[in-house]
Chains A and B, each alone.
Chain A
């Protein structure tokens, strides 16, 4: 990688936080809800009824490290 040093590295340009914030809030909520549904719903707390979701993703829940039975 000797020739890489000869090329001046440009300074990384950060994304303004006000551009990140709306995505972090809206997408963040949806993404965390998905993680909640896979990992926890119909367990300690339940937003959906029954036990179908829990049973379907059950092996993933245990192996991914979420508390189960």
Chain B
């Protein structure tokens, strides 16, 4: 059963990754190109332009490179999503499979993407200092881990409050507790402010909008497609979400 959910999660993730690629290619690549143009201009002005050929051409990076990253990311994320779904289904209220998938996608998007993005937003090429990649990576990962742990804690809290406050109020209280706790953690985490003063503001804005929009597309597609894939199979095999082994 977990195996079949995992397969469905990865299929849903591949579809979500494909949609992500289309969105990122159409709306994100222009700002990546503009950031690289700024980078080359700045390097030329400092007379440190390198003569060595790039390992991978811009044309490859923007097309099959981006597609490969999107599909692998989508499939892997979909697999993790399915594993989490396997562990939480039937344990958060009386939600149906589709509802559980939708709630999980919403909570995952907020905890893994939105909250870390508010503190350490995606940054276009040439807007960060090369030497701080280690600390920036560490802080970004730490922010995701804190956020996910707090979200899990909020769900457990909501479950405990359910009997006393009812579904709606317990959900609101848990969400409020998460926002407050994540806000405190975000406030305490070190600031990263490395964008050069002359980095074009419109490029930064367009890049971050495209980055955020792409993740919104990806998580929405993941939740809906995964929900549809598991719902169809649970209907065929009766009321339970169990999946007929013969269907695979």
Q: Which residue of A lies closest to B28 (CB)?
A: A63
Q: Indicate whether A32 sits within 8 Å of B80 (C-beta atoms), given known contacts A23-B6, A56-B61, A56-B68.
A: yes
Contact of A3 with B by CB under 8 A:
no
Name A15's contact: one of B86, B95, B120, B128 (CB within 8 Å).
B86
Q: Indicate whether A35 sits within 8 Å of B83 (C-beta atoms), given known contacts A55-B54, A59-B32.
A: no
Main SS of chain A's interface residues?
Answer: helix
Contact present for A55 and B55 (CB under 8 Å): yes
List 7 A-B residue pairs with CB atoms under 8 Å apart, sorted by A's residue number.
A15-B86, A15-B89, A23-B3, A34-B73, A43-B133, A58-B56, A65-B215
Contact present for A23 and B86 (CB under 8 Å): yes
Contact present for B125 and A63 (CB under 8 Å): no
Main SS of chain B's interface residues?
Answer: helix
Contact of A6 with B by CB under 8 A:
no
- The count of residues in chain A whose C-beta lies closer than 8 Å to any C-beta of chain B is 43
Contact present for A31 and B76 (CB under 8 Å): yes
Contact present for B61 and A28 (CB under 8 Å): no
Q: Indicate whether A23 sits within 8 Å of B210 (C-beta atoms), given known contacts A10-B240, A14-B90, A66-B140.
A: no
Provide the bound-state CA to CA distance between A38 and B149, in Å: 23
> In the complex, which of the residues B3, B69, B79, B96 has the most CB atoms of chain A within 10 Å of its own CB atom?
B69
Provide the bound-state CA to CA distance between A56 and B24, in Å: 15
Question: Which 9 A/B pairs are nearest by Cβ-Cβ distance?
Answer: A60-B69, A14-B90, A44-B137, A65-B122, A57-B69, A12-B90, A67-B136, A34-B76, A55-B56
Name A's B-contacting residues (CB within 8 A): 9-15, 17, 19-20, 23-24, 27-28, 31-32, 34-35, 37-40, 43-45, 50-52, 55-69
Contact present for B76 and A35 (CB under 8 Å): yes
Contact present for B73 and A39 (CB under 8 Å): yes
Q: Indicate whether A19 sits within 8 Å of B124 (C-beta atoms), given known contacts A60-B24, A66-B140, A67-B133.
A: no
| A10–chain B nearest beta-carbon distance, Å | 4
| A65–chain B nearest beta-carbon distance, Å | 4
Contact of B91 with A by CB under 8 A:
yes
Contact of B164 with A by CB under 8 A:
no
Name A35's contact: one of B73, B100, B138 (CB within 8 Å).
B73
- Given A63-B207, A68-B128, 18 more pairs with CB closer than 8 A: A12-B96, A12-B100, A13-B240, A23-B3, A32-B76, A38-B72, A44-B133, A44-B138, A50-B55, A56-B65, A56-B68, A57-B66, A59-B32, A59-B66, A62-B124, A63-B210, A65-B211, A67-B136
